[in-house]
Structure 1
Amino acid sequence: PLTACLCFFCFVLFVSSRPSFTCGGNITGDSGVIGSQGYPGVYPPNTKCVWRITVPEGKVVVLAFRSIDLENDNLCRYDYVDVYSGHANGQRLGRFCGTFKPGALVSTGNKMLVQMVSDANTAGSGFLAVFSSAHPHERGDQYCGGRLDKPSGTFKTPNWPEKDYPAGVTCSWHITAPKNQIIEVKFEKFDVERDNYCRYDHVSIFNGAEINDAKRIGKFCGDSPPAPVFSDGNQLLIQFLSDLSLTADGFIGHYKFRPKKFPTTTIPPTTTTQPATSRPIPLKYSVALCQQKCKRRGTLQSNYCSSNFVITGTVITAVVRGGSTYVTVSIINLYKEGNLAIQQAGKTMSTKIIILCKKCPFIRRGLNYVFMGEVDDEGRGKIAPHHFVMLFKSKNQKGLNVLKNKQC
């Protein structure tokens, strides 16, 4: 309640005095307001502004966005705001763009760094955020996170299972396996404050050793355990964040290392059997297939009915294993599902697709595509050289909606 009052007080002061925001600065105090240069006017192009926030020793920084309006991009590549715990070499708590406001962000110490970058083309009024200081979770059993490098282990929220996790916590577990292995993560129990977009309390899982939206496997909240998750490489980062409002039971999860030579798939959440493993496509079949001419056949319309699944989506990860490319796609629209296995976190849906011949069609991370293809026994999409794949543009959406409403 005290922190909420401080934030409200800061906001009232802002409205009444209408400060002039400059590009970055060093800010010290219990609470305050920061905003993009010229807010609420359009922010300038080609700038990099850095705000270094310091609250009293022994406290943590809580940052809440009141408004955000930056050029929108699925991966926030052009104009964006980065928030870090600490001033130098700190952990990135998130990267934000567009108009979607994240939940409260909490540093691990008394310092936080906010950085806004804009390119040559700007759009929007920038951002306004308030910060305040809060007491960290002080009891020893409430500290969480750390480096995990044993072949198997457990991670859990502070206070588990005696009582709810505390408010204002950020935990990061960095799991590292040997070079030739990958990591499997399963949640035994899971109860995190529910929100359709997981904006407030949430668990995010990333391929690699840092928080990077382009490498995010999923973002989870609610009271249903996520499906088992498998890393693409030998490192995985699990981040748990709780804001300063509602809390819940929390979670306990387990990880273990697995051989890399057998690619894995995430099984649908409703499945209760052990995770399945898939063997690589037989070499002779793969070589013969990839000797075909790399050219899609037919049109959007002619391929729609002959395909097992039809989606539009953004390529989040693309990893080459052997002669194939294993792709994670964040789904924009689902036109024909078939038996495609789909993961859902809030309203975000994703699926796994195998490009059987790694360069045909050639797929680039961060771009949007129309995918039409077959589905294998484990629910993954399969794309061969003759299947229909093309870059997705907004003008294609009308045609796909027409096809969806027609009988095949």
Structure 2
Amino acid sequence: MAEAHRREWARVLAATVRLTRDLDLAEECVQDAYAQALHSWPANGVPARPGAWLTTVARNRALDVLRRESALRRALPLLVTEESTPGPGEDDDRLRLIFTCCHPALSREAQVALTLRLVCGLSTAEVARAFLVPEPTMAARVTRAKRKISAARIPYRVPSPEELPERVGAVLEVVHLVFTTGHAAPVGERLVRQDLVDAAIGLARVLRLLVPHDAEVAGLLALMLLTDARRDTRSTAAGRLLLLSEQDRSRWDTRQIREGTDLLTTALRRQAPTRYAVEAAIAAVHAEAPSWEATDWPQIVALYDVLLRLWPSPVVELNRAVAVGLRDGPSAGLAALEPLLDEPALATYAYLSAARADFLRRLGRLPEAAGAYTEALALCGNDVERSFLAGRLAEVSRP
């Protein structure tokens, strides 16, 4: 059932929304379908096509509700369905849902929240944890976004070719946020939310079907594949965090690395480097290094310089500072981190304190390192990362 939820939720919901033109009703009917599957499948077996079974049950449930409430619903604002540009076959409904959730009339927070809730199938509680807000706050945010979609008569369709260039960028940002939330889960017992990672990669593949010549789409998909290729080596069987320097590179997914590298090459040939292509290039340098010691840090620093011009960001500056420290030594790394200590956007960012702590540890400045590790622990919400930081703190605190 968990696999059916992960793989089929978005398709079933998207198909049901097309019938109901109401996000709330569609979501309720899909939830009913999954509840019915919980009772039926253990007794009768999982159907050969779980998604089709769930879609049929959800749509039948929706038809029953629509027949009973037809008079009332005629007076309610509903999603406008319009003829859309032909999509990639069975994925067209899912694309309609993605572009509806990422409509520019919604705030970026609302776009990401709706995508996580409706396209990725996360519970409201899970979305709230991803945003580090209380569940009632997130429930209200999602409800307001749904109401705005209906009240503003936002079309449930794939944008026209003329609209695509300005609409795809917003969708890519949301997909990237879904991926990063899954790749480094901000809270919880797991280092990785693989369901979110897989959902983001799946969405990027669907977008690539829609706009096969878009270099930004190719760059983002390349970035995610190259990064996710390390998934099986990021922690031990017991759940201990493994740094990049400790990972067994022979276990990295060579198929994903090859596909990601090919996509990156395609993206760079088609136009000047985009943000995602440069990030993918950094991931490719790591993927192609035969060992940690052989990593080309000068090239990585140079790529971060390019990325800062394309996408100025305190987080990019932090990553560049770490790369400088790995290229030139921990003292240079500390010096590069110094200007970021007063950056408001990084005030609660655990990775800044953790990076500083590591450079201090390597310099033998153990009392200062202990203070930085303590600060990082206070800011970190992921249990796997907290365990790693606690171990480092104990190491530098020994008499």
When the two structures are superposed, what TM-score results if normalisation uses the length of structure 2? 0.26
When the two structures are superposed, what TM-score results if normalisation uses the length of structure 1? 0.26
Q: When you count helix as a share of all residues, which structure comes out higher? A: 2
Q: When you count strand as a share of all residues, which structure comes out higher? A: 1
